[in-house]
């Protein structure tokens, strides 16, 4: 497909994805908050879970959470909030296809990690999503779910194994985005195959004037708790593309694990904040700890290679950039996949190269996340030379 059409599709679908995602996660956080802030109604009623008054957009909202007493007429209109999740998931899958699967090998494959074909990489990606969902369902429908700590530990171990596996096969960014898509798929499966059936059973029971089968709601509660904890990790993964020092790191799976566990722990402190007074300290402590571990892992051993090698002439540095970068980073890229210079970065004139020296070092020398998917076959010697030229002051001889 024409690359410009692909970019336009990317733009529209990404926009939809973000709007739907904000609505879905926003609602989910709001309902979680409501549940934790209800107070008993003045006139005690066995069907009421509690009430709350809210002030928003110029008026008061009086909200009560309750079950409907048998015999009471079912309301004409009840809002379910299920399509925000579906829209988020569908647009997410569409983005995965548009950007990663139709975007060619550059997105999915990094020859320095594994020299597999684009088709193999796509098969691995799709297989990981389907496989993870089947495994998760099998685990949480098995007798093991009666021992939540054990089932939880197994889930975490499987997720870690999946992250390690994917980062050994796919490019760093593709591995990250697949873990995100995988978690989003589990959440969506939870909504549609566990939580919705429970709501349907509740409606059927209410209409029939009988009590709800508790098995449904217990399972729904369990899965919505999972979704609650998965939210923050997924949101990090969705923005991880902007942080090459995470997905481009040699231990990218470990960084991902640390960030996932850390952010889920922050969510935990937010969950308990209404009955645990030390929650803010707890959340701050795990945040700091997580960031400290990330900082240590991504810390650079002094990369000032420039001092120890003979001066590098600008002409040599520019020759490398012309050969390895300009196919994409030019006013008129020759690379078919990128008809416009990615990130607006053009590396044709000496001044442009000098201006971007810092980012060039970051992407091509330290994180090695450029050239994109190493499409242009940059060598280690070239990276070292480029790094030395930058360390020596990125002098363009003017």
| Cα–Cα dist 173/345, whole Å | 19
* Shortest distance in whole angstroms from residue 204 CB to ligand HEC: 50
Q: Which residue has the tokens 């020299």?
A: 115
359 binds ligand HEC (CB under 6 A): yes
110 binds ligand HEC (CB under 6 A): no
Residues contacting residue 156 through CB under 8 Å, at least 6 positions apart: none
Binding residue (CB under 6 A) for ligand HEC from 225, 345, 384, 396: 345
* Shortest distance in whole angstroms from residue 347 CB to ligand HEC: 6
342 binds ligand HEC (CB under 6 A): yes
243 binds ligand HEC (CB under 6 A): no
CB 271 within 8 A of CB 227: no
106 binds ligand HEC (CB under 6 A): yes
Alpha-carbon Rg for the chain in angstroms: 26
Number of residues that bind ligand HEC (CB under 6 A): 23
Q: Which residue has the tokens 């079950």?
A: 67
Indicate the residue among 173 and 223 with the shorter CB distance to ligand HEC.
173
Stretch that binds ligand HEC, among 175-183, 206-214, 255-263, 325-333 (CB under 6 A): 325-333
CB 325 within 8 A of CB 332: no
Residues contacting residue 352 through CB under 8 Å, at least 6 positions apart: 346
| Cα–Cα dist 385/323, whole Å | 14
252 binds ligand HEC (CB under 6 A): no
Q: Which residue has the tokens 């889920």?
A: 264
CB 345 within 8 A of CB 362: no
Indicate the residue among 184 and 371 with the shorter CB distance to ligand HEC.
371
Query: In this chain, which residue has its C-beta nearest to ligand HEC?
Result: 325
286 binds ligand HEC (CB under 6 A): no
Tell me if the bond preceding 371 is cis, omega within 30° of 0: yes
265 binds ligand HEC (CB under 6 A): no
Q: Give Cα 276 distance to the centre of its chain.
A: 29
Indicate the residue among 24 and 338 with the shorter CB distance to ligand HEC.
338
Binding residue (CB under 6 A) for ligand HEC from 92, 172, 233, 371: 371
Footprint of ligand HEC (CB under 6 A):
106, 321, 324-325, 327-329, 335, 338, 342-343, 345, 356, 359-360, 363-364, 370-372, 375-376, 378
């Amino acid at each position: 497909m024409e690359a410009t059409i692909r970019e336009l599709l990317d733009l529209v679908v990404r926009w939809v994805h973000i709007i739907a995602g904000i609505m879905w996660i926003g609602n989910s956080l709001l309902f979680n908050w409501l549940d934790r802030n209800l107070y008993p109604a003045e006139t005690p009623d066995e069907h009421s879970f509690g009430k709350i008054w809210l002030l928003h957009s110029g008026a008061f909202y009086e909200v009560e959470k309750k079950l409907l007493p048998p015999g009471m007429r079912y309301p004409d209109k009840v809002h379910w909030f299920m399509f925000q999740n579906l829209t988020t998931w569908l647009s997410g899958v569409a983005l995965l296809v548009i950007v990663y699967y139709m975007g060619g090998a550059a997105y999915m494959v990094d020859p320095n990690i594994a020299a597999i074909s684009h088709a193999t990489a796509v098969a691995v990606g799709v297989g990981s999503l389907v496989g993870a969902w089947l495994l998760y369902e099998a685990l949480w429908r098995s007798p093991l779910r009666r021992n939540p700590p054990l089932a939880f530990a197994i889930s975490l171990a499987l997720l870690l194994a999946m992250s390690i596996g994917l980062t050994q096969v796919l490019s760093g960014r593709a591995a990250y985005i697949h873990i995100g898509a995988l978690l989003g798929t589990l959440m969506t499966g939870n909504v549609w195959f566990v939580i919705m059936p429970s709501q349907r059973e509740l409606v059927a029971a209410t209409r029939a004037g009988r009590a709800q089968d508790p098995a449904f709601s217990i399972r729904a509660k369990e899965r919505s708790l999972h979704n609650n904890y998965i939210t923050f990790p997924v949101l990090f993964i969705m923005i991880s593309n902007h942080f090459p020092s995470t997905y481009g790191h040699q231990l990218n799976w470990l960084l991902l694990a640390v960030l996932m566990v850390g952010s889920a722990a922050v969510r935990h402190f937010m969950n308990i904040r209404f009955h645990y007074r030390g929650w803010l300290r707890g959340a701050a402590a795990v945040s700091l700890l997580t960031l400290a571990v990330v900082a240590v892992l991504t810390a650079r051993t002094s990369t000032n290679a420039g001092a120890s090698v003979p001066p590098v002439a600008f002409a040599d540095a520019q020759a490398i950039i012309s050969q390895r970068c300009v196919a994409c980073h030019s006013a008129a890229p020759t690379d078919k996949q990128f008809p416009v210079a990615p990130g607006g970065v053009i590396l044709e004139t000496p001044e442009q190269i000098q201006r971007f020296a810092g980012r060039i070092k970051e992407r091509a020398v330290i994180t090695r996340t450029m050239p994109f998917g190493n499409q242009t076959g940059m060598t280690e010697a070239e990276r070292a030379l480029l790094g030395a030229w930058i360390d020596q002051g990125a002098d363009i001889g003017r």
